[in-house]
């Protein structure tokens, strides 16, 4: 397993996937808070837009998790 030197230090592929997924979880939480905040303050359209972004980020998170676990390659017939 290769390690890569980055500004934030040295990471392996698995650690990088973990970090991306963790950051996406944090981002979904914060965007969701903004969505609910906007809706609570009467800006229904913008609030709903933020909540839609959370749904899109959730899809991205699922795809990255599938990449990390190899499910995408397996379903496509690759080894």
Are 13 and 1 in contact by the 8 Å Cβ rule? The answer is yes
Residue 40, in any domain of the structure = yes
51 within a domain of the structure (yes/no): yes
Examine residue 54 and state whether it is found in any structural domain, yes or no: yes
What is the token pair recorded at 12?
């392996």
* CA–CA separation, 71 and 4 (whole Å): 24
42 found inside a domain? yes
CB contact set of 65 (below 8 Å; sequence gap of 6+): 17, 21
**Does a structural domain hold residue 79?**
no
For the segment 16-65, what is each residue's pLDDT rounded down to a tens digit? 899 999 999 999 999 999 999 999 999 999 999 999 999 999 999 999 99
Decide if 44 is inside a domain: yes
Domain membership of residue 74 (yes or no) is no
pLDDT confidence tier of residue 73, bands split at 50, 70 and 90: low
Locate all alpha helices (DSSP H) within 1-79, ordered by sequence: 13-40, 44-69, 71-75
How many independent structural domains does the chain possess?
1
- Domain membership of residue 76 (yes or no) is no
- The span from the CA of 72 to the CA of 45, in Å, is 35
For the cut 60, the answer to whether the pLDDT of residue 77 exceeds it is yes
What residue numbers bound the domain in which 20 lies? 14-69
- Count CA within 13 A, CB hemisphere, residue 63: 6
């Amino acid at each position: 397993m290769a390690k890569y030197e980055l500004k934030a230090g040295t990471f392996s592929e698995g650690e990088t996937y973990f970090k991306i997924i963790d950051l996406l979880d944090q981002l979904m939480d914060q965007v969701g808070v903004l969505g609910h905040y906007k809706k609570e303050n009467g800006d229904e359209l913008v609030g709903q837009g933020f909540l839609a972004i959370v749904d899109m980020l959730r899809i991205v998170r699922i795809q990255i998790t599938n990449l990390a676990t190899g499910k995408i390659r397996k379903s496509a017939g690759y080894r």
